[in-house]
């Protein structure tokens, strides 16, 4: 057991999917995995282990934001020795040609989080995805005929902010594709502990145009993202 995860060490696979929403973890476990059991209910942050195409894999909710995913990633790495961590999240598009329902592979993450500044002092560390995982996910997306985008995302400490449009337009100028709230922390911790990490993100809304997906459309697109992430994980 760790502080926030009530599992035995052998209960968690060395490959894990990390949705922000614990109910997305439940959905993934029930819809995509075989021989599933729930290993964590602490704080309602569900965690499950099962098999996908015969390979053992886990899925764990992380909550929202850098502090929350940092707790789960730290414990999964240090207490459970997880090697491959793939975030399966939602994001808001910042570019006109990034559409709702698109799936984004985050190659890196820009951030306003103070976490890395506290660690690195005056240096701005550049968090990056694991190349092989990114390639696996991209290849899977191509095979499925998906409109995958690869690039920089903005990991924000705020979902609501006063100067949102000005900041988002500036970031869009610098070719940042989308905004979400966790990737920089996941990639930085993976670098620290020599683990493999990737964020696969579904565009749930467009922050500049206000376009949104319907509940049914989100479900279908989530399935594309989940299949890409599961296939990338087991190709490792
Ligand atoms: O859908 P998830 O994975 O939670 O990701 C996005 O949704 C939450 C905000 O609504 C933030 O966690 C953001 O990163
Ligand atoms: O606009 C959005 C959508 C999803 N997640 C975010 O953090 N922002």
Q: What is the ipTM of this complex?
A: 0.96
Q: Pick the atom of ligand 2 nearest to 91's CA.
A: 4
Q: What is the pLDDT of residues 100-140, one digit of tens each?
A: 989 999 999 999 998 888 888 888 999 999 999 999 999 99
Tens-of-pLDDT digits for all 236 residues of the chain?
Answer: 899 999 999 999 999 999 999 999 999 999 999 999 999 999 999 999 999 999 999 999 999 999 999 999 999 999 999 999 999 999 999 999 999 989 999 999 999 998 888 888 888 999 999 999 999 999 999 999 998 999 999 999 999 998 899 999 999 999 999 999 999 999 999 999 999 999 999 999 999 889 887 776 666 668 999 999 999 999 97
**Whether residue 205 lies in the annotated active site:** yes
Distance 25 CA to ligand 1 centre (A): 13
Cα separation of 44 and 42, whole Å? 5
Q: Pick the atom of ligand 2 nearest to 207's CA.
A: 1
Specify the pairing of strand 55-60 against strand 15-18.
parallel
Indicate which residue of 35, 205, 224, 231 is catalytic.
205
For residue 235, give the nearest of 90, 128, 135 by alpha carbon.
135
Cα separation of 95 and 172, whole Å? 6
Distance 11 CA to ligand 2 centre (A): 31
Cα separation of 183 and 86, whole Å? 10
Distance 197 CA to ligand 1 centre (A): 17
Closest ligand to Cα 199:
1
Q: What is the pLDDT of residue 147?
A: 83
């Amino acid at each position: 057991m760790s502080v926030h995860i009530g599992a035995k060490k052998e209960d968690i696979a060395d490959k894990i999917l990390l949705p922000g929403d614990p109910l997305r973890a439940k959905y993934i476990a029930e819809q995509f995995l075989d021989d599933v059991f729930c290993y964590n209910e602490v704080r309602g942050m569900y965690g499950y282990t099962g098999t996908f195409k015969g390979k053992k894999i886990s899925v764990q909710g992380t909550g929202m934001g850098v502090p929350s995913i940092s707790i789960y990633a730290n414990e999964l790495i240090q207490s459970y020795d997880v090697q491959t961590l793939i975030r399966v999240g939602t994001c808001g598009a910042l570019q006109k040609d990034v559409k709702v329902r698109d799936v984004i592979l985050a190659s890196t993450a820009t951030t306003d989080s103070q976490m890395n500044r506290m660690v690195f002092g005056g240096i701005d560390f550049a968090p990056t995805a694991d190349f092989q995982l990114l390639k696996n996910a991209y290849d899977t997306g191509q095979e499925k005929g998906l409109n995958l985008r690869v690039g920089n995302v903005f990991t924000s400490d705020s979902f609501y902010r006063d100067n949102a449009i000005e900041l988002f337009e500036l970031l869009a100028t610098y070719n940042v594709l989308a905004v979400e709230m966790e990737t920089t922390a996941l990639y930085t911790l993976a670098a620290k502990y020599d683990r493999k990490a990737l964020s696969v993100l579904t565009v749930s809304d467009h922050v500049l145009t206000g376009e949104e997906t319907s509940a049914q459309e989100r479900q279908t697109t989530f399935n594309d993202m989940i299949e890409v992430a599961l296939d990338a994980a087991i190709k490792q």
